[in-house]
Amino acid sequence: MQVPADRIDKLTRLREAGIAPWPAGSSLPDRERIADLLERADPDAPDGERATATVAGRVASLRDHGNSLFVDLRDDSGRVQVFLRKKALGEERFTLLKEVLDLGDFLAARGELARTRMGETTVFADDVELLSKSLFAPPSEWYGLADVETRLRRRYADLIANPESFGRFRTRSAIVRDTRRFLEDRGFMEVETPMLHAIAGGAAARPFMTHHNTLHLDLHLRIAPELHLKRLLVGGYERVFEIGRNFRNEGLSPRHNPEFSMMEAYWAYARMDDWIESCEELVASLAADHGLHTRGDGEEAEELPRHQVVRGDHVIDFSRPFRRATYAELVREYADADVFDEASVREAAKRHGVEVAGRRLEQVVDDLFGHCVEPHLVDPTFVTHLPLALSPLSKASPDDPRVAERFELIVDGMELANAFSELNDPEDQLARFEAQVAERDPELPAEVDHDYVDALRYGMPPAAGIGIGIDRLVMLLTGAESIREVILFPLLRPRAAGAEDEEAPADAATSDEAAGASPDVAAG
RNA sequence: GGGGGUGUAACUCAGUUGGUAGAGUAACGGCCUUUUAAGCCGUGAGUCCUGGGUUCGAGUCCCAGCGCCCCCA
């Protein structure tokens, strides 16, 4: 994008007047956050007792009245009106300011906090200072920035223009903070395990590849931290967790970004049921504290109780206890199939249009679950007794060897959490790894993680672990329909940046090739 | 990978059957010292995503490509 000529002119005018467009800082003392000022100072105090304050922020609105000027300044705490008058600032300064000031500039202003005739709380400035000149106009405050592509490619513009976006990422931060606090309060220790893995295990997904030069070593970006966190249980820590990024080399969708954030926690001497309790407590409290409880907007806005969260046109009820149902029950209810009967599963798959050819039975079952069951689970539901074949790291249920002591928490059709009693039998684990490798499925590890098996051979206490998808949690609680609304900089095909420079030669090469290949294009 | 949608001024969007490219906001000039989507008068602003084609004439129709969105696999 080109800098408009009028802004270049303004830079020149500023420099001629000896004013730096981007000074190192402000010379006005005691800058206060706008919200703090509005809380501290009384604009209705009698003359002589009113507070004097310095505020600074981005110019969000300009209303020119000739010999005076109203400016709305916005900082990250709020917004306040500043009144600039020729008489208070002096003719020369006032005139220059009016000439060069644009929406989007950063300004500091110092003056008395009082009320205008119209009742607006206002800083009556007797000193102002340009803190940073903007060269591009900000997106329209009134219309916001609606173009999805621009919003994602230029998130900064989205954050300037769209208060919902600005607020949503603050909510995300608060959710992560409170999740961390919840675990710390219960004696969990936060750790950091490697992102670069020689063997990408702990989940079923295609990994990203990378390479370490000096070791001549091919590495994968981790698809899950699970196997390292359990090594720490072997090492003797009893409660560990990690909040961080996982990478899966798969498609993009409103629910999938190639890099996404997970919280994983491992708890020695606990079982799946302990995580049901804790997970429910955590999710319900996050929903109450950070969920979107307002339905509709403007005059028709309706405030819902704190256990109800609005998402799109429906409401999710997070009141405890959450629904509990077994996997087999749900497949029976919604897909009319018997999970443990191959003929029944294949028939149901056909009936519901689920692909069967070339897929393992448990994959077909899982697809059936995803297609027929998940979309119906709107209020939080703990799905228990998942097939053991889908749970290669999980202990079998003592009551039924076909199913795992495992649950998934489904909310609004999305898998939000996954937890199980951890398999700590090294020989069983080795056999399951070997079976995975034998499948030669590109989504499964190509190699057995023998070091992990060895770790189990040292002895891992009985334990239960959980993973919670942070992005999806934020989506659910903030009403976001797409994962891109909760990831600051989601992956997009690169464009613009650099394209302007590289476009020309690239185009020339392509057209040369085309011309060389078929000189008589017009005839065809 | 397949299907559908979409791309017009800095922003939000119109654009009829194919006939000189439009509005509001923002910008620029003017008036106004209590406005708040300030107001009034005036001005400038475009690679209509890109490249072909049809046509006397294409933002509009056709073909190909690109980005983005959605659905499916």
A126 has a pLDDT exceeding 50: yes
pLDDT in tens, A327-349: 999 999 999 999 999 999 988 98
Alpha-carbon distance A96 to A310, whole Å? 49
Q: How many Cβ atoms are within 10 Å of A229's Cβ, its own excluded?
A: 23
User: Chain B: nucleotides under 7 Å from a protein CB?
Assistant: 1, 10-13, 24-29, 31-39, 52-53, 66-73
Q: Nearest nucleotide to A9 by CA–C1' distance? A: B28
Q: Using the CB atom, is residue A117 less than 7 Å from strand B?
A: yes
Q: Using the CB atom, is residue A6 less than 7 Å from strand B?
A: yes
Q: Which of A172, A175, A129 is nearest to A29 (CA)?
A: A129
The three-class DSSP label of residue A190 is strand
Outline where DSSP puts E strands in A340-413. Answer: 381-384, 406-411
A519 has a pLDDT exceeding 80: no
Q: Using the CB atom, is residue A134 less than 7 Å from strand B?
A: no
Q: Using the CB atom, is residue A246 less than 7 Å from strand B?
A: no
- C-alpha A447: how far from its chain's center? 32
Alpha-carbon distance A224 to A265, whole Å? 12
Alpha-carbon distance A222 to A276, whole Å? 26
* Burial label, A480 (beta-carbon count in 10 A; 0-12, 13-18, 19+): buried
Q: What is the pLDDT of residue A193?
A: 98
Q: Nearest nucleotide to A150 by CA–C1' distance? A: B68
For the CA of A499 and the C1' of B48, the distance in angstroms is 21
For the CA of A261 and the C1' of B9, the distance in angstroms is 40
Structure ipTM over 0.85, yes or no? yes
Q: What is the pLDDT of residue A444?
A: 82
pLDDT grade for A499, boundaries at 50, 70 and 90? very low
Q: What is the pLDDT of residue A469?
A: 96
Q: Which of A55-69, A185-199, A308-322, A359-373 has the lowest mean pLDDT?
A: A359-373
| Cα angle A362, A366, A370; round to 5 | 170
* Burial label, A108 (beta-carbon count in 10 A; 0-12, 13-18, 19+): buried
β partners of residue A265:
A241, A466
Mean of the pLDDT values across residues A493-509?
41
Residue A307 backbone phi and psi in degrees, to 5: -85, -5
Q: How many Cβ atoms are within 10 Å of A493's Cβ, its own excluded?
A: 6
pLDDT grade for A507, boundaries at 50, 70 and 90? very low
Encoding tokens for residue A102? 């644009």
This prediction's pTM: 0.91
Q: What is the pLDDT of residue A490?
A: 92
pLDDT grade for A514, boundaries at 50, 70 and 90? very low
- Percent of chain A past pLDDT 70, that is, above it, reads 94
The three-class DSSP label of residue A516 is helix
A515 has a pLDDT exceeding 70: no
For the CA of A146 and the C1' of B30, the distance in angstroms is 34
Q: What is the pLDDT of residue A189?
A: 98
The three-class DSSP label of residue A346 is helix
Residues 181-240 of A with CB under 7 A from strand B: none
A439-448 exposure pattern, b = at least 16 Cβ within 10 A, e = fewer: eeeebbbeeb
pLDDT in tens, A268-319: 999 999 999 999 999 999 999 999 999 877 667 889 999 999 998 899 999 9
pLDDT grade for A259, boundaries at 50, 70 and 90? very high
pLDDT in tens, A77-99: 999 999 999 999 999 999 999 99
